[in-house]
Amino acid sequence: MEPMLPNHTRTTRSSSRKTGWLRTLGLACLLALPLAAPAANDALPATVNSALAAQKLDANQLGLWVQAVDSDTPLINHQGDRLFNPASVMKLVTTVASLDVLGPTFQWKTEFLADSVPVNGVIAGDLYIKGYGDPWFRSEDLWDAVRRLRELGVKEIRGDVVLDDSYFAPIAADPGDFDNRPDRVYNALPNALLLDNRAVRISITPHGEGESAVTTWPPNPRMALQNTLNLVDQPCRSSTNQPVIDIRNPTDPGAEIQVRGTVSRQCAPHLYYRVAGDPHDAFFHAFKRLFESAGGTITGHWRQGLVQAGSKRLITHESRPLSNYLWLMNKWSNNIMARQIMLTLGAELEGTPATELKAARVIERWAADRDFNWEGAVVENGSGLSRISRLSPRQLGNMLLSVWKSPYMAEVMATLPIAGIDGTMRKRLTSGSIRGHAHIKTGTLRDVRAGAGYLLAKSGRRYVVVMLHNEQGVQYGGGTRVQDALLTWLYENG
């Protein structure tokens, strides 16, 4: 997800928590930014200069790198070596590194084990559920696991359900650190045993009565739902479809979901997603509800712990391949998926439990092995939801040029939003022949508008395009118009 809120008042964890290359290079790039040399506007296409002037934006705060995939020199190099915050364009680094290191067919496991094999359908001791960082483990996957347990004949669990998320180290952070919105899904923190991206689904069904008009999933008796929604018998329009959802104490196990406002009974049902409560509570109560709905019973509760030696594996759920997950991550800019994938790099190559520092070391070695000159680069958590992340247009451009010649070019291209068609580019460049000709990963934060990917020009020539713009207010439409002016010019003239 890409937040575009004007009230980002708090930064992410300080770069002082990083060690080695991240700390040294991060401080270097932050100090270097104000010293960047002024840009020469005449190096830019006239339509880009016109867009900058119309939006009252400064070319000195813009970095561009445009190069044909069959060329050795850039067509446009505008502040190409200056370090910028790339926002969610950073997910391209996570994408390419994970394909190189893990491979496109890599899958995540979620294991279900027991102290002993079931006897007459009864697990006399504890059931263990161990996560390995699956970035997209859904309630549907949990239901499939329940179905498979029932097919094994398991009908009763007399002990506890032990949740083992030790594959990742705990993330020592407040989800509200970035912008003081801890209930937003884009701020959700990673966990090795994650359900539904850590989100609570809030369903508003206006034709219901009273409490039935609002339901939540997963069910969680520790969280309260306060529904004061005003249902009216009027045509559905903007003035009669204004639900308000607030989460009180979202990081507490006993968080309260408050739903108020006005909704017409003639409006269609709608789903909303928030982060609230304890993720272990959510996982356990979803599992219990599904298991009981299939005719099973659980005597105990849940506790966090480790799978014990000698436990018997009952079933293993395997995720879809990494390449499928990268499609989801990039098309809709899913932050927590990127963070889970980056942590997996750390766990797989540096050992468990995974940490962001281990993952950063993997990225560092990978970039060095590819002969990328990433002096000053700061990757942080791999999602781009960061105030200290830095990359230059040249660094991103050279990475994308190398991708074009790599075995995984098709996999990377398939993950990128297509102009005028899907993902975060679906509403841009929707008319004219350029529609469908630009595959661009977008990025947006306060004072950041970024984009990078590939464009097929009218001439039939393919270009790498990197656009990084860091300027106050650039996220409010103006930066998008500058980018679209460049893409349109390149399509017509490249």
Per-residue pLDDT tens digits for 400-422: 999 999 999 999 999 999 999 99
**What's the pLDDT score for residue 330?**
98
**What's the pLDDT score for residue 21?**
38
Pair 194, 135: CB distance under 8 Å: yes
pTM score, whole prediction: 0.90
Pair 494, 486: CB distance under 8 Å: no
**Two structure tokens written together for 490:** 């390149």
- The CA-based dihedral angle spanning residues 335, 339, 341, 347, taken in that order and rounded to the nearest 10 degrees: -170
**What's the pLDDT score for residue 227?**
93
Pair 195, 142: CB distance under 8 Å: yes
Phi, psi of 162 (to 5 degrees): -95, 120
**What's the pLDDT score for residue 376?**
96
**What's the pLDDT score for residue 25?**
39
d(CA 41, CA 59): 7
Q: Could you list the mean pLDDT of each consecutive 10-residue stretch along the chain, which spans 494 residues?
A: 37 36 38 39 86 97 98 97 98 98 98 96 97 98 98 97 98 89 96 97 84 88 94 94 96 95 94 96 97 97 97 98 98 98 98 97 96 95 97 98 97 98 98 97 98 98 98 96 98 96
**If you write DSSP's letter for every residue of 78-92 in order, what string do you get?**
ESTTS-B--GGGGHH
Measured N-to-C along each axis, helices 335-350 and 356-369 cross at an angle, to the nearest 10 degrees, of 80
Per-residue pLDDT tens digits for 434-460: 999 999 999 999 999 999 999 999 999
